[in-house]
Each structure stands twice: as structure tokens, then as C-alpha cells.
Chain A
Amino acid sequence: MKNVTNHQPVRHINNPPKTVGTKNFSVEHILTLTNLTKKFGAITAVNNLSFTIEKGNVYGILGPNGSGKSTTLGIVLNVVNKTSGNFDWFDGNTSTHNALKKVGAIIEHPNFYPYMTATQNLKLVCKIKEVSEEKISEKLQLVGLLDRKDSKFSTFSLGMKQRLAIASALLNDPEILILDEPTNGLDPQGIHQIREIIKTIASQGTTILLASHLLDEVEKVCTHVVILRKGVSLYSGSVDAMNASHGFLTMHSNNMEMLQSALEGNPAFGKIKREGEFLIVYLNEPLDASEVNKLLFEKGITLSHLVKRKESLEEQFLELTKQK
């Protein structure tokens, strides 16, 4: 609520659930997607997608290239027409274009008027979003472009363009910041700068929706993920819950057949697969490596290799998005 005083002169900033008094007091829904579908001719880019974005969380939309991430964002950002289904901004209390004034969004390419300077471009955005121009310097400072504020956009490097886009998205102190592949095409330094900025913004409590195919990017900042493949949602929920599997064991013994049959008889172990000379076993319940060792030793099996690991987000992602 720290920003309320700054916003007072601007009429469109309010907190609908509190002032209007809708049914939900505990959670503010920023965006709700219900059975959203988009078809491009015969291709279904987004298929019956539903998820909800709640205030204060950091969401990641993960998916391989062409999985419908950008299309989904395009639909909620009013630039792509949906085929069917619905989406509601802020519990459906405002029209989409008015809701977007409370949103900050960056899509793949930074799009500005090349013949205008950074400041002139941002002033235009202020006019569109109907916010005052006083924050321009502050936001340029945040992304480190204040000393280039009077340079034409066409003279900027890609990294600078992307940072200007972030500054532009933050001008209205948005309720939610939407980032679509923000580090695409940047050099390592640029990627680092953008990530630092995102972390700073996330730490201030701004809701963020980050679409990416870079998993470490999502893993580092997101609390929730939606995983897409071919326009279908494969998983939607918190990152922690996704990691809720109990991990897996990599083992090796002199007698692999005996080991495998011993494991197969035990309900604590799930899927078992051979990988080279090792046996990979997924756990169905929390089980310590030492307990497993003890259990097997009692059955007369000695292990020469035993490692317990949890899957990284990357492994889970690859597992989930594998072609079936």
C-alpha cells in the first residue's frame, strides 16, 4: 500500500476487490483464464487453457518454442484474438484495454518509435496509460539508462532497447509485470542486467508473469509455473508442489537382477529403469538413502553405488514435455 499516495491524482488506479467489495477478500485475482483456445487455421496454438494469477506471486510460463506461450500472452494483451474461451482481468471489473493500463508488458521485441528519444518514447507511453510523466527519470535510473535519455531509440543496442522496454512497462507501477522471453538474444551481460532488474522488481512485491524456455531463469525467480506443450497445459501450480516427488535413487550392485527384483516387490518404490550400468528408481514415499541401503543389505544385496537426488526443474520439465 506504500504507493497509494503517489497514485491519488490518477483516477484509474484502485484496488477493485477492496473498494468494490467483491466476494473474495483473501486473494486478489489479477488474471483468470478459462478454457482459452486459439486456432490458426488447422493449428491449435492454445488449447483449452485455464489458470489463475493471484496477486503477489511470481509466475513462470514454461514451454518449448512454439508451445503457445506468446500466443497466450498475446490474447490477454489484446493483440491476438481468441477463438473461444474467456479471460478476465482483475475479476472482470474493467474492459481489457483499461485493465492493460494497470499492466506492464514486454513482448519479445522492444517496440518503440526509432526517431524519438528514450524520454519522448516514454512520454508517449505515459499519455497512453494516462499516468503522469514524473516517473520517467526514476524508471530510467532503475534500468540504468538515465544518461542516455536524450538519445534516439534507433541508436540503442538490443540490451538497452530491452531495458527501455522494462522502464516503459514500469511507468505506471503496474499491478502485474508480464515478460515474454525478456533475455532472448541478449549477450551474457545483458541477460545478467535484465535478471537483476527482474529480481529487484520481484523483491518489491510486484506480481510477475514470466514466459521463457530458459529454465534456470524461471527456477530462480518464480514461485509458480504453468507448463505448456503444443498449447496444452501440462502442469499448473507452485514450483514446490511440482518438486513434491520424493526424488530418485541411482544404484549399482554386483547382482543387478537380484537388486531389481528386490525393489519391484516393495511398494515404496515406483518406476524402475535401467540407465547404462545403473538402475534408476523413483520413490513413492519419503525414504532415506541409508534406510534403503539397510533394507537391501538385510536382503543380502550390497550396493557399490547409491545416490539420492531430487529432479531439477529442468529434468521435470523435459520429462513433462517429452513427446508421448
Chain B
Amino acid sequence: MFRLLSIELQKLRYNRAAKVISIIYFVLITFIALIASIEFNFGNFHFRVADQGIFNFPFIWHFDTYMAAILKLFLAIVIVSMMSNEYSYRTLKQNLIDGLSKKEFLLSKFLTVLLFSVISTVFIFAVSLILGLLFSDYTEIGIIFSGMEYIGAYFIKLVAFFSLCLFLGVLVKRSAFALGFLIVIQIVEWLIYGLMKWQFFKDTEIADQVSQFFPLNAMANLIKEPMSRLGAIQSAANQLGESFTKDYSVSFLNILIVLVWTALFLYWSYAILKKRDL
């Protein structure tokens, strides 16, 4: 296992583009901390984001993982290209000839995906913990470590998304097209949802019921948007006579759906690799 990981890391280590994008990714995660320093001054009105409660435990886990998950697109570029490069450089063929099995080849990629996800998860955990300790109104241990399910969901979300990227890399063989394909999947999901919601199954819950099984939608649902949970927004909504009764928790069914998709992406990648003549 260590051998497979070291093979893949060697491929990435000397790849300047991959290195630069990975570094940008981790730097951007730390920049979430910068949100804390956003301040406005409207005459007498003084607004500081850090004071709005976004860095309060346990809400910070939800907020930070949601924000950081958006940045995963950067790593997606690295992952898609690490697969498609093997096709464009024809090194997949050479790797197999040199004695790597197709299973080992895919496993070395997947282990790298796991490693990236672990590092990113540890990173977001550390950043959130530090930010929280600096700005949170509550610092009791029990409160700090409640809401840990968001960290777990973040990890699963990354692994699933990167597995999809791997699969697209194998399927399409060209990084640009694979990333384009990713956008196409998102659009198709929206279209199907829209058609169901406003055309075929109007005024029913069917559209939401079905769309929770869509891969990208399922991944997105793992960590729901945290904005409407903020005190300021809640009270603003209350003044307008609206009230949110949204469930922000990480649902078990959702995790299961995402894990099944992850397994499918890996299985399909392997099946394509196995079937295709090089």
C-alpha cells in the first residue's frame, strides 16, 4: 500500500502545475480566517463579521466545512489531470508494461485521493479549532467538540467528489473535457430537478425525494448551506414574517447515498480500465 502511494506521490511531486494548485488550495483554506477581519463602517454603524457568531462553536464546524468544500474544485483539477495525464503521456500503458496491475494502478490513485482528503480534513479541523478558540463566545470542551459530524461529512464529501473526478478522468481521458463533463453533470441534475419540480410533479415532494439520489446533489446535501442558520439572518427573516424550519444535520441516508456513489465511481473506473485496450 505504501509502495502504491509513493509511486503516485512521485508522479505528483515533480509536476509543477499540480504542486502549485495544491499549495493554492491549502493557502485558500487558511484564508477562511480572513473572513474574521472583514469590517464595515457605515457612519455610526459598525459591523464586524467575526462578531456575527460565525466563529462560535459548534456552528464554526458547519460554516468552515461548507466554505472549504467550495474550494475542492482546485484539488479536483489536480485529480482529474493526474488521471488524464496518464492517458495523454501514454504512461498508463508503460506503467502496466512495467508490472503494475490495473487494480494497483487505480488503487494508487485512490490512495492519493484518500490522502488528499485526510490532509484537507485535518487542515480544516485545525483552522476551525484555532479560529474558534480565538473568536468563539463559548469555549467549553463539550461545546467545542459537538458538531463533529460536519468534519466527518466533509471528509466523505471530498472522497466522493474526488472519486467522481477520477472516474471522469478515466472515462474522458482529457482533463479539460473531464472538468467540463463535471459541469454538464451539475446542469443535468438541475434540469431534471427543475423539470420534475415545476413540470411533471408540481406541488409534490417527488422532485426532492428523487433528486436526493443524484450524485452531486447528494454530495452537496451532506453539508447544507449554513447562512440561514446565522442569528442575524434568522432575526431578519423573523421580522419579515418568514421562519426557517430547515434541518441542517448530516443525515445518515445521505451519507449512505454518497458512499454508494463513491463505490460505483471506483468500480466503473476499474471496469473501464480493465475493458479498454491501450
Contacts and interface: CB of A to CB of B under 8 A. Distances in A.
Task: Tell whether A and B belong to one assembly.
Answer: yes
Interface of A: 40, 74, 77-81, 95-101, 103, 105, 107, 109, 111-117, 120, 123-125, 127-130, 168
A15 B90 CA distance: 32
A101 B101 CA distance: 10
A129 B275 CA distance: 24
Contact of A127 (B10, B89, B101, B275): B10
A128 B93 contact: no
B277 A74 contact: yes
Given A79-B277, A112-B89, A123-B10, A100 B15 contact: no
Given A120-B10, A120-B14, A127-B3, A109 B91 contact: no
B49 interface: no
A128 B96 CA distance: 9
Contacts, number: 83
Interface residues of B, number: 27
Given A97-B104, A112-B89, A113-B91, A77 B14 contact: no
Contact of B89 (A74, A97, A114): A114
Contact of A97 (B15, B99, B277, B278): B99
Contact of B97 (A79, A124, A127): A79
A154 B138 CA distance: 57
A187 B11 CA distance: 31
B112 to A, nearest CB: 14
B100 interface: yes
Interface string B88-112: 0111011111111110100000000
B255 to A, nearest CB: 35
9 contacts: A79-B278, A81-B275, A113-B14, A120-B14, A124-B7, A124-B11, A127-B7, A127-B10, A128-B95
A92 to B, nearest CB: 17
A79 B93 contact: yes
B277 A80 contact: yes
A125 B98 contact: yes
A262 to B, nearest CB: 57
A221 to B, nearest CB: 22
A77 B85 CA distance: 21
Given A112-B89, A115-B15, 19 more contacts: A78-B101, A79-B96, A81-B277, A97-B99, A97-B100, A97-B101, A100-B98, A101-B98, A111-B90, A111-B91, A112-B91, A112-B94, A113-B15, A114-B89, A116-B14, A124-B10, A125-B98, A127-B7, A128-B7
